[in-house]
A and B are shown apart, each in its own frame.
Chain A
Amino acid sequence: DAGVTQSPTHLIKTRGQQVTLRCSPKSGHDTVSWYQQALGQGPQFIFQYYEEEERQRGNFPDRFSGHQFPNYSSELNVNALLLGDSALYLCASSFQPYSNQPQHFGDGTRLSIL
């Protein structure tokens, strides 16, 4: 039973570029949430997707956008990259956004901006 998988594991970009991160949820899960984790900090919620729609968004600018596909996988896109976007980006999946079942996290994509 595969857990949450994310790709790529590491990525290096320069300021102003655009990046796309990918996430495949755990089998049986239909909801995907994205988090940003800066060094030494706890993860910060970016947004959540369910039924291919953004259901909730954290305090992140419009440069951060996402998409969910019919197979429940998801992408996180970040435009006009800034040095401050360097972080570990985590994807978490769960069964329906309204339930109390826990989210399961992938091991993240480490994004470095030069």
Chain B
Amino acid sequence: DAKTTQPPSMDCAEGRAANLPCNHSTISGNEYVYWYRQIHSQGPQYIIHGLKNNETNEMASLIITEDRKSSTLILPHATLRDTAVYYCIVRPPTTSGTYKYIFGTGTRLKVLA
């Protein structure tokens, strides 16, 4: 019951920007969007999260559309080390008021030399 839809795979040339899209058309007003990536045999690594404004940190930028139904993660200058599975997560609250992550199958990004 993932609430997000992502393309299964993408390629990007090294040094170019990688733009990873995510559709979350059923998002509600107080749900944040989180992005993680997972390199083979490691745990998911937190990248960035946001509610409705665009966000930027040392790793990436997150662009959320005005209607909040989709977002794009931007890696400005992709390197070979950015090859990973990228997960977009909308975190719904549970009946107890706590939050849990529901992962989809993510986007497998391959950065090409």
**Complex alpha-carbon distance, A72 and B68, angstroms:** 35
CB distance from B1 to the nearest CB of A (A): 10
Q: Does A7 contact B (CB under 8 A)?
A: no
CB distance from A3 to the nearest CB of B (A): 9
Question: In terms of DSSP, what is the predominant structure of the interface of chain B?
Answer: loop
A-contacting residues, B40-67, CB 8 Å? 41-46, 49, 51
Q: Which of B41, B44, B94 contacts A43 (CB 8 A)?
A: B44
**Complex alpha-carbon distance, A43 and B104, angstroms:** 8
State whether A48 touches B103 (Cβ < 8 A).
Answer: no
State whether B98 touches A42 (Cβ < 8 A).
Answer: no
State whether A103 touches B101 (Cβ < 8 A).
Answer: yes
Q: Which residues of B contact A103 (CB under 8 A)?
A: 46, 101
Q: Which residues of A contact B95 (CB under 8 A)?
A: 56
**Complex alpha-carbon distance, A100 and B97, angstroms:** 12
State whether B100 touches A33 (Cβ < 8 A).
Answer: yes
Interface residues of chain A, those whose CB is within 8 Å of chain B, are 4, 33, 35, 41-45, 48, 50, 55-56, 58, 90, 92, 97-98, 100, 102-108
